Amino acid sequence: MLATLPRSVDTDAVSTLVLAPVSIACGFPSPAQDYYDGPISLTDMLIDDQAATFIVRASGHSMTGAGISDGDELLVDRSKHPQSGDVIVAVLDGELTVKRLELTPAGAMLRSENAEHPDIVVPELSDLQVWGVATYCIHHLR
């Protein structure tokens, strides 16, 4: 899965939305309460470090098992220290990719979340840079 060039988060455009005061059942419908609970800030809810958070668009199908589909946007925080198991935007030998990071005693592996796509065992002499850690996926419903 590839990532297109990132763009910074425009927090003026993502100012506030209204949060429903109740959870909505996905199974059997339940009566909803109809009252206003006030606005919420998506920036405050989703972003820890505004200056270090970017939006990238995912391309491809190698991360569908992680809930990331072709065309989805990822919020990527460059200030987070990558840990084994994180979904990351990596630069491997100059190429951007989105994969799950696995750190082992033998070295780093970039795991796909789709059996049709191979994992990438990072060769010792390769240039691997973690560009950022994906924190949220904005999944498009089609």
Residue 101 covered by a domain: yes
Q: Is residue 18 part of a domain?
A: no
Name the region of 98 (left: φ>0; alpha: ψ -120 to 50; beta: rest): beta
- 103 domain-assigned: yes
Between these two residues, 7 and 127, which has the higher pLDDT value?
A: 127
Q: How far is residue 60 from each of residues 13, 28, 37, 71, 111, measured CA to CA in Å?
A: 27, 34, 39, 8, 14
Spatial CA neighbour of 3 closest among 57, 61, 52, 76: 57
* The residue type at 75: L
Domain presence at residue 90: yes
Q: Does residue 19 fall inside a structural domain?
A: no
Q: How far apart are CA 128 and CA 142, in angstroms?
A: 34
Whether residue 95 has pLDDT greater than 80: yes
Where in the sequence is the domain holding 112, given as residue range(s)? 2-8+50-138
Whether residue 131 is contained in a domain is answered as yes
Q: Using 50, 70 and 90 to split pLDDT, how confident is the model at 1?
A: low
* Residue 127 forms part of a structural domain: yes
Active site residues: 62, 99
Beta bridge partners of 76: 54, 134
Tally of domains in the chain: 1
Residue 116 included in any domain: yes
CATH code of the domain containing 70: 2.10.109.10
